[in-house]
């Protein structure tokens, strides 16, 4: 069995401004750096063999802070990037809803069939992310690894692990630096933990709001 600790990146300024990020390479905010330190402290006693991350700055930096507690380096994997929001990147919910009301509505009701203008579909993200993850699982039998990625991508990985349709992708909450744990066996997966962010409550200065 391979145990995979999936972590969402810390907060960015665009998170705070409710802007869709996708492949835009936005750095962690000051609060995001604090959140990364808190999740690193929370995972410090885990026996982690390797740490992987999306190549986007916000995920990679979060992973580096976690890795420092384990004297490990971080391996960047582009397939772990967030869903591409195409023409929506840099816009907030109101701007997108005003410009693409039908597609935006479909995104939350029929996520499995919607293509974001100029961007990806959730099935495409699920395929690239789970394929990359399965490769990592194969490289680390009987070990625990950490994977730092993005809210949309982690949701597709959890849908795959739970064997539920991607139309339910938004039913899974993912806070900044949320910890999710999945156990991968030869023929099945067991979800051990979802969206655990209790580490953010260890200090009032970095609560996940």
> Which residue(s) pair with 7 in the sheet?
148, 179
Nearest to 79 by CA among 50, 54, 60, 58: 54
Q: Which one of the listed residues 9, 23, 150, 199 is annotated catalytic?
A: 9
Cβ atoms < 10 Å from Cβ of 42: 20
> Which residue(s) pair with 51 in the sheet?
74, 146
Q: Which one of the listed residues 17, 37, 46, 82 is annotated catalytic?
A: 82
In 50-168, alpha helices (H): 57-68, 93-99, 101-109, 122-139, 151-162
* Cβ 194 vs Cβ 188: under 8 Å: no
Q: Is 143 a catalytic residue?
A: no
Q: Which two tokens stand for residue 12?
A: 């960015």
**Where does residue 138 rank: exposed (0-12), middle (13-18), buried (19+ CB within 10 A)?**
exposed
Q: Which helix (H) or strand (E) holds 12?
A: none
Q: Is 9 a catalytic residue?
A: yes
Radius of gyration of the chain (CA): 16
Q: Which helix (H) or strand (E) holds 2?
A: strand 2-8
> Which residue(s) pair with 19 in the sheet?
92
Positions marked active-site: 9, 82
């Amino acid at each position: 069995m391979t145990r995979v600790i999936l972590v969402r990146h810390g907060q960015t300024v665009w998170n705070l401004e409710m802007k869709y990020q996708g492949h835009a390479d936005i750095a962690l905010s000051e609060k995001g750096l604090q959140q990364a330190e808190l999740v690193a402290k929370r995972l410090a006693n885990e026996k982690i063999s390797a740490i992987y991350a999306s190549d986007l700055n916000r995920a990679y930096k979060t992973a580096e802070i976690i890795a420092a507690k384990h004297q490990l380096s971080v391996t960047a994997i582009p397939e772990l990037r967030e869903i591409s929001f195409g023409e929506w990147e840099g816009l907030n919910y109101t701007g997108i809803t005003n410009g693409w009301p039908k597609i935006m509505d479909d995104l939350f009701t029929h996520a499995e069939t919607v293509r974001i203008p100029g961007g990806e579909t959730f099935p495409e993200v699920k395929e690239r992310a789970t394929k990359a993850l399965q490769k990592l699982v194969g490289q680390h039998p009987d070990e625990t690894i950490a994977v730092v990625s993005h809210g949309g991508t982690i949701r597709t990985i959890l849908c795959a692990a739970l064997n539920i349709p991607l139309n339910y992708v938004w039913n899974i909450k993912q806070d900044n630096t949320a910890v999710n744990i999945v156990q991968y066996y030869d023929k099945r997966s067991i979800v051990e933990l979802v969206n655990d962010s209790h580490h953010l409550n260890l200090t009032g200065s970095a609560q996940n709001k």
